[in-house]
A and B are shown apart, each in its own frame.
Chain A
Amino acid sequence: MKRRKLDPAEATANFAKGADDRFQAATPLRGLLNKVFPDHWSFLLGEIALFSFIVLLLSGVFLTLFFDPSMKEIPYEGSYPALRGVEMSQAYASSLHLSFEVRGGLFMRQMHHWAALLFMASIVVHMARVFFTGAFRKPREINWVIGVLLFLLGFFAGFTGYSLPDDGLSGTGLRIASAIMLSLPVIGTWLSAAIFGGEYPGELIIGRFYIAHVLLIPGILLALISVHLGIVFKQKHTQWAGPLRTNENVVGERMFPRYAMKQGGFFMAVFGVIAFMAGMFQINPIWLFGPYRAAEVSSASQPDWYVMFMDGLVRLMPNWQIYIPFGDGYSIPPLFWPAVVGLGALFTLPMAYPWLEARKLKDTRSHHLLQRPRDNPERLGIGMMALAFFTVATLSGANDVIADKFHISLNAMTWAGRIGLLVLPPLAYYVSVRIAFGLQQHDREVLAHGVETGIIRRLPNGKFEEIHQPLGPVDEHGHPVPLEYAGWVVPKKMNKIGALGPAVKGFFFPVEAPAETPVSPAPIGSAKKEEISSKR
């Protein structure tokens, strides 16, 4: 039998034919290759969260191979001398083992922790982008709700994660979590007993948190992230207003190759930054904290940054206890309000916001064009109000450290936080709304009168005036025809409309002959001439 020579092109074609025979893949695959994505740097903030999540999964799997979620007490016999002989849980001992006796283990632990911080940070920044540009509006409300849920799940993933090593700091966090559960009216003691398997701390909680942290929460996160991305894909991405862009189209570049390459490159860059931080910046040095002991705590016991707002709210809450004189007497401790009601409100209010806004504006249309923050001042104000609240609460979560480092009275910090929490959000609302209106106004001025050229002219009657370059056509008297406000960037400097030559390429020396730089005074075109002559 004659052996045929294998032709790679033909083999690939045959494979593709076979695949299409079975899955009818050709048409949908072409659609995928051709799909157009709008491009803007702010659309990549959510990508950072996705990439951090992938790093979290990879590094997390490595960590599970060494971590032992057992609360059995054993004497430490590892290579860190300061703790040798100390009684500690297996969980803590195995975390120390991971840090000191596994090659590259500390690097992986720190990578996991830094990726977690970056995951939460990029979610917050991405949410701010989506909020301030109105990207959550119909038809994307559900994806906004999923996003808020992702933050909530990330919050619990982070909390269960940093509780696992069972060191001094994480035990303190667990103790507070138990107190928060106890503060729930009626069911508090039952809930705490159910979760801790009896009285705090018991011997089960690390094992339970472990399964939540490595299976339940990441499973739900993975499912929700998939739905989140699926919806983005189905509904197509929002885009900024601009030339050619309408509510019915997407202007950008095809997914392959350019957009996909940008995604891949950006992933590698984010991964690189996380790896760099994991090696260079120490995080959660658990060996310094010692094993958890109920009697021991140090000052500067801060949770991870995304939990600090809650800790801050708890610190600022006045000692208002509600007593219910009924039967033996019942009470609702002050911890309940910031930690349970506060947290609940901080998640449900944002979830409801898309519908609240649509209801207020009586807006039932679908929106695919983004709004600049200045074009919806009320929304901007509400968002800034929320951010001011979050910032004051977060800073208050570190008020003991601030008091210590800046030599401020601790009680003064608490009072500053209490007052700031009430005063700063409305102030932020007012200031940002005013700024938004101001920016809008300035855009409209430039659209109506043109760009300030910086050229001052003296009129025959002695009056000085600045020449404006109209952005559009002029009428028969040479006055600029007012342009419609489009909710998009308005050039405000002459350089933006080509008064300056294009930038010279090359870093140290020009690689191409530089374009002709305009001579000063610039040669005046016909439109300009009319404008100048018009103001006689």
Chain B
Amino acid sequence: MTAHHGATAEPVDVNDPKLTRFDIVKEGLRRDDIEIITYESQFQGPNSKAEKRVVRNISFLFLLSGLFALVFLVSYIVWPWKFELGHTLSDYYTPILGVSLGISLFALGIAILAWAKKLLPHEVSIQQRHGDPSSDDERLITGQTAMYVADELGVARRPLLKGAIGLGLAPLGLAAAAPLVGGLIQNPHRDAEPMMYHTGFDPKTNGDKLVRLTRDDGSPIRPDDVSAGGQMTVYPGVPGGATNKFADSPTLLIHLRADDAEKTRVAADGDKNGRNKGSMWGNYVAYSKICTHAGCPASLYEQQTNRLLCPCHQSQFLITDNAQPIFGPATRRLPMLPLSVDDEGFFVATSDFKDTVGPDFWERP
């Protein structure tokens, strides 16, 4: 026990009938090493005017809380709440719930806070921390006890057991983890299913026939359907081609104006690795809509500057130069879809994209 330890008061006999309840409380505080330094009423005497006023205010807050709780209940039950088109009473349902419940709870909170802060006596108590670590003896005893547990097991003396435990439990641990992890593992490089490297425009998804470009309702597209300077989001013309099952397939079909088209063709035909050569059809070009950065649709088409902008991270691609990234975090151009028109005059893809579509990854060729 240190010198300033706890209360200065002497211990008292709590069974002494002369003690008040507060005397007994103080004896408890003494035993818990707490000293009350200040404990005084916030008012100038019992039933002071100020005290009555505080009590009135707190009572008002409790009643206000109850009133708004009733408003909440009644509105919850009787106010028209079903959604209807247009400007109707049901528009106010959620706001009324929020305001009434909000005021009710807030008033209750303030009432309790005011009670604690304004009515209860002002108090300053001091408690000793006792944050000292265990004594060296205690530490030694506990440490030795723990070591003795190891001695009792005798693992150190019985090396065979040590090895057997390791060799026996490690496989069991792996066996426990295997079904948890193994069930989740999918080979992303399986050839049977088109993952990573294929989109819905691969003729394989269409029984080895060329895949048409379609709208989201599945209808095919003729060159006349896109006016010069216009663009259209197209999907592979296979069942479910516009659904999220083919999340990598959405493509932007752009009808360029003649001079831009010429620039684009020169750039595509002069493509260094030759992948974009001859991929345009007339003044039409089609780029994958899936950003090569994080996979958002790079869908904001700036007609004047011939740029495609991805709204997620602002990568910008130059349409007239093989959709090279010219700003933002993307490093790789948008793949170009080789276009043609079939016998019936509808757009088809002559093959799948020749570059991998979508965000970059480690082993992308």
Stretch at the interface among B115-123, B145-153, B159-167, B272-280: B115-123
Kindly identify, within residues 106 to 163 of chain A, every residue whose CB is under 8 Å from any CB belonging to chain B. Answer: 106-107, 110, 139
A236 and B131 contacting across the interface, CB-CB below 8 Å: yes
Query: A251 is contacted by which of B108, B125, B289 (Cβ under 8 Å)?
Result: B125
B311 and A299 contacting across the interface, CB-CB below 8 Å: yes
Contacts of A320 in B (CB 8 A): 331
Q: Mark B81-95, 1 if CB is under 8 A from A, else 0.
A: 111110000000011
A348 at the interface (CB under 8 A from B): no
Give the docked Cα–Cα distance between A331 and B363 (Å).
Answer: 7
B96 and A279 contacting across the interface, CB-CB below 8 Å: yes
B328 and A301 contacting across the interface, CB-CB below 8 Å: no
B250 at the interface (CB under 8 A from A): yes
A250 at the interface (CB under 8 A from B): yes
Query: B297 is contacted by which of A103, A249, A277, A297 (Cβ under 8 Å)?
Result: A297
A179 and B314 contacting across the interface, CB-CB below 8 Å: no
Q: Mark B28-48, 1 if CB is under 8 A from A, else 0.
A: 110110100100000010001
Closest to B234 in A: A295
A512 and B44 contacting across the interface, CB-CB below 8 Å: yes
Contacts of A498 in B (CB 8 A): none
Give the docked Cα–Cα distance between A248 and B365 (Å).
Answer: 65
Query: A335 is contacted by which of B116, B216, B360 (Cβ under 8 Å)?
Result: B360
Query: A198 is contacted by which of B102, B193, B363 (Cβ under 8 Å)?
Result: B193
Kindly identify, within residues 252 to 280 of chain A, every residue whose CB is under 8 Å from any CB belonging to chain B. Answer: 252-254, 257-258, 261-262, 264-273, 275-280
Give the docked Cα–Cα distance between A296 and B244 (Å).
Answer: 11
Give the docked Cα–Cα distance between A298 and B360 (Å).
Answer: 22
Do A179 and B293 contact each other (CB < 8 Å), given the known contacts A185-B362, A319-B331?
yes
Closest to A413 in B: B314
Do A199 and B195 contact each other (CB < 8 Å), given the known contacts A295-B299, A297-B299, A333-B360?
yes
B139 at the interface (CB under 8 A from A): no
Kindly identify, within residues 6 to 49 of chain A, every residue whose CB is under 8 Å from any CB belonging to chain B. Answer: 30-31, 34-36
Kindly identify, within residues 269 to 293 of chain A, every residue whose CB is under 8 Å from any CB belonging to chain B. Answer: 269-273, 275-280, 292-293
Residue with the highest number of chain A CB atoms closer than 10 Å, among B48, B82, B364:
B364
Query: A411 is contacted by which of B101, B109, B112, B327 (Cβ under 8 Å)?
Result: B327
Q: How far is the CB of B40 from chain A (nearest CB, A)?
A: 13
Contacts of A332 in B (CB 8 A): 362
Query: A292 is contacted by which of B196, B244, B295, B327 (Cβ under 8 Å)?
Result: B244
Contacts of A106 in B (CB 8 A): 94
Stretch at the interface among B169-177, B182-190, B223-231, B334-342: B182-190
Give the docked Cα–Cα distance between A100 and B94 (Å).
Answer: 11
Residue with the highest number of chain A CB atoms closer than 10 Å, among B48, B108, B246:
B108
Do A301 and B186 contact each other (CB < 8 Å), given the known contacts A244-B37, A267-B109, A273-B106?
no
Do A189 and B294 contact each other (CB < 8 Å), given the known contacts A107-B94, A269-B113?
no
B50 at the interface (CB under 8 A from A): yes
Do A511 and B129 contact each other (CB < 8 Å), given the known contacts A199-B196, A299-B300?
no
B129 and A368 contacting across the interface, CB-CB below 8 Å: yes
Query: B99 is contacted by which of A171, A192, A280 (Cβ under 8 Å)?
Result: A280
B residues lining the A interface (CB < 8 Å): 2, 4, 28-29, 31-32, 34, 37, 44, 48-50, 53, 76, 81-85, 94-99, 101-117, 120, 123-129, 131, 184-189, 193-196, 216, 233, 235, 242-244, 246-250, 289-290, 293-297, 299-300, 309, 311-315, 325, 327-332, 358-365
* 14 new A-B contacts at CB < 8 Å, known A175-B296, A179-B293, A279-B94: A175-B295, A176-B296, A178-B359, A184-B362, A189-B189, A236-B129, A251-B126, A262-B117, A265-B109, A294-B244, A319-B329, A331-B361, A331-B362, A411-B314
- A-B residue pairs in contact (CB < 8 Å), sample of 23: A179-B359, A183-B360, A187-B362, A189-B362, A194-B186, A199-B247, A247-B129, A248-B129, A261-B112, A261-B116, A265-B110, A266-B109, A272-B102, A278-B97, A280-B102, A293-B242, A293-B244, A294-B249, A300-B311, A317-B329, A335-B329, A368-B129, A411-B314
